[in-house]
Structure 1
Amino acid sequence: MSVGEEVRDTQAPPQQSLGTAAARNLATTTKSAPQMQEITSRWLLKMLPWVQVQGGTYRVNRRLSYSVGDGRVTFVQTGDRVAVIPAELGELPALRNFGDEEVLAELARRCEQRDVGAGEVLAASGDAADRVFLLAHGKIEKVGSGLYGDETELGVLADGAYFGDRSLIDGDAVWEYTARTLTPCTLLTLSRADVYNLAERAESLQGHLAGLLSIPEQRTNHYGEAAIDLSAGHVGEAVVPHTFVDYEAAPREYELSVAQTVLKVHSRVADLYNQPMNQTEQQLRLTVEALRERQEHELINNREFGLLNNCDYGQRIQPHDGVPSPDDMDELLSRRRGSKLFLAHPKAIAAFGRECSRRGLVPESVDIGGHHVPAWRGVPIFPSNKIPVTDARTTSIICMRTGEAEQGVIGLQQTGIPDEIEPSL
């Protein structure tokens, strides 16, 4: 050691009391119950009126409706070429219930592909209509003429839609509106000439078209239901019409679906580690939460009874500018009477809020059970992350009325099952 070097004591001072690390060995920790991020507010389950289905099946009896093939057409894509699936041509009213697959395949081959840019007119109001347009990709607006000759927007068509189908069987058909592309579009066209040229060689198609023309047009109301003959406003001894209300011969039936699992808890865990929280109860609680989340997911997305898949195509609209706007929400409300609620993904609600802010609007809120929920025109907008958001950042907003008395959406359940811990669970 050199002279003058300072000597420092590097040893820690002796411990004067019990340390916290050792004290924890004798302490009882305060802990939370097991948590999971999957739990959501599940507003749909809370807001739906639930109907007891004792027999396991719910039948919806309705008036007779005449189907007009109002579905969507599906396509297949190979590179830059698009083709319609032959069987999907049966969605066109003129080919409804036509089952000759070879003829449908030939019609599909005769469809011509067109790639057009935005702003192009595909059909002009008043011109002769001689072909049907099948929209594979893009958006098309239907424009009509107002009272004073100004343009009036009649709607927006998107992927899978078709228009001009009446021209396949009516040689005198004219376009009742102007069809103009909003975005670059890929379309397929099938002309009336191609259909009738093929019909000259295919007896099945010729017979189908002849039978279609010979059937008198059914009298229906605005919703496609068989008309009820009435007389009103007459004077004197008028002949009062005779009528009856016809029903669907095979109404749709909904069978109760089930979500289930087998929960396993080791007896050693339940016996030795059951304090201060019951292990079985906590496992069961989290499993029940997962089942309820799956229940709401199925109510929205199930292919058989889910809301998204059962919404009538005539009740679906496309946004005018890509983002949900007040105009779109108003149009959605106008599609039905007595709308009770909107259901949307939180990202869609945020996008709608930004659009309102951009326009200088402040959406109101309503009180639902002590919760302040955003609303539009007094109809609450409930969030649900079960509504999917695609990779292209598109999603859906559902508007519905509820209850049997209003012919609206209901939930089906069967209570009183063995070992029930919650209604129908």
Structure 2
Amino acid sequence: MCRACAQDHRAALSCRERIGDYLARLPLLSHLAPEEVEELTAASCPRELCDGQWLFAEGEPADRFFLVRAGQIVLFRQSADGRECIVAVVGQDELLGEEQIFDEHPVRSLNARAVGPTALLSISRNSLRRLVDQSPTVRHAFLQTIDRRQRLLLDHIERLTLQNAQGRLVAYLLGEAKLSPDGRRVRLRIPKHALASHLAIQPETLSRVMSRLKASGKIREERGSMLLDTARLREDLEPAENLGPSWGCPGPPPGDDTLRRPGR
């Protein structure tokens, strides 16, 4: 073997080892046997996207799953006139498309696009489905993940249906704060125009609400992030409205700021 070929071979082995180590650390796949990790590693390949680059489009065959290793992917629907509704933001170590693992002829139900430089791991659907069929533990982990996503969808429907613009934003920020180590600091994962779409409000309405919360001292900007006064923000919400991190679905038309609970 020539020196260049030997170097390429060593690089390929090193890449496979890194992919295998990464897969074995993920909670969703942590119960796999070493030979199962090796099988999944062989069926995986790295992929990188630039900011704004599409990963897939609605209606395409869903023949591969994607793990987000770094960066973020937005899932969205697009209307005939080009308007977008952000359905979800998928971040580091999260899987794209697990709800379609049991479909016999799956197709993409959403569009997917990178937010910032994004590194992914593309995994063959057939290989992953084979492991799910063979391992009750992996199948249970997938079902738990799908159930969690469904509950978050219902939470987001409630958020969009029963709250006004400020309530939607406050619930979203409190949910995001739960993901931070101190439970108070939030760094927006998507641009503000995308967040407005996700919350089904106009961008200018989002700006006004954000300014109002800052003026009241409930939100303070600090080193590129927002520090929340979570106790005061929770006072703005009823218990049923204090929802978790958002993995949502389409809501009222953009700009709708009129929906409130009856009697409010």
TM-score, L = length of structure 1: 0.34
* Partner of residue 401 from structure 1, selected from 221, 229, 234: 234
C-alpha distance in structure 2 between counterparts of 1:114 and 1:185, whole Å: 9
C-alpha distance in structure 2 between counterparts of 1:190 and 1:100, whole Å: 15
C-alpha distance in structure 1 between counterparts of 2:62 and 2:135, whole Å: 23
- The change in CA–CA distance for 1:307 and 1:196 in structure 2 (over 3 A counts) is closer
SS in 2 for 1:160: coil
Instruction: Give 1:129 deviation, angstroms.
Output: 0.5
Higher helix share: 2
Query: 5 Å matches for 1:166-185?
Result: 166-185=99-118
- The change in CA–CA distance for 1:88 and 1:174 in structure 2 (over 3 A counts) is farther
Aligned length in residues: 193
**Match in the other structure for 2:189:** 318
Instruction: Give 1:102 deviation, angstroms.
Output: 1.8
Contact 1:144 1:177 in 2 (8 A): yes
**Match in the other structure for 2:220:** 383
Query: 5 Å matches for 1:102-121?
Result: 102-103=34-35, 105-107=37-39, 109-110=41-42, 111-121=44-54
**Match in the other structure for 1:133:** 66
The amino acid that maps onto 1:128 is P
The alignment status of 1:374 with 2:250, answered yes or no, reads no
Instruction: Give 1:106 deviation, angstroms.
Output: 2.1
C-alpha distance in structure 1 between counterparts of 2:178 and 2:98, whole Å: 31
- The change in CA–CA distance for 1:196 and 1:143 in structure 2 (over 3 A counts) is closer
Instruction: Give 1:182 deviation, angstroms.
Output: 3.5
The amino acid that maps onto 1:152 is E
Gaps of 5+ in 1: 1-77, 226-298, 335-354, 367-372, 410-425
Contact 2:85 2:197 in 1 (8 A): no
Query: 5 Å matches for 1:189-338?
Result: 189-196=122-129, 199=131, 206-208=134-136, 223=151, 306-307=182-183, 318-320=189-191, 325=192, 328=195
Query: 5 Å matches for 1:87-166?
Result: 87-91=24-28, 99-103=31-35, 105-107=37-39, 109-110=41-42, 111-146=44-79, 148=80, 150-154=82-86, 155-166=88-99
* Partner of residue 22 from structure 2, selected from 85, 89, 92: 85
Contact 1:87 1:104 in 2 (8 A): no
The amino acid that maps onto 2:23 is P
Contact 2:220 2:227 in 1 (8 A): no
- The change in CA–CA distance for 1:396 and 1:176 in structure 2 (over 3 A counts) is farther
- The change in CA–CA distance for 1:211 and 1:142 in structure 2 (over 3 A counts) is closer
Contact 2:48 2:118 in 1 (8 A): yes
TM-score, L = length of structure 2: 0.51
C-alpha distance in structure 2 between counterparts of 1:142 and 1:301, whole Å: 20
Q: Which has the higher contact order (CA 8 A, sep 6+)?
A: 2
SS in 2 for 1:127: coil
C-alpha distance in structure 1 between counterparts of 2:148 and 2:56, whole Å: 28
C-alpha distance in structure 2 between counterparts of 1:221 and 1:135, whole Å: 16
SS in 2 for 1:138: strand
C-alpha distance in structure 2 between counterparts of 1:122 and 1:100, whole Å: 27
Gaps of 5+ in 2: 1-13, 154-176, 244-264
Contact 2:31 2:138 in 1 (8 A): no
SS in 2 for 1:106: helix
Contact 1:131 1:189 in 2 (8 A): yes
**Match in the other structure for 2:7:** none
C-alpha distance in structure 1 between counterparts of 2:31 and 2:96, whole Å: 22
Instruction: Give 1:156 deviation, angstroms.
Output: 3.6
The amino acid that maps onto 1:374 is A
- The change in CA–CA distance for 1:333 and 1:381 in structure 2 (over 3 A counts) is farther
For the pair shown, the structure with the greater C-alpha radius of gyration is: 1
SS in 2 for 1:86: helix
Instruction: Give 1:163 deviation, angstroms.
Output: 1.0
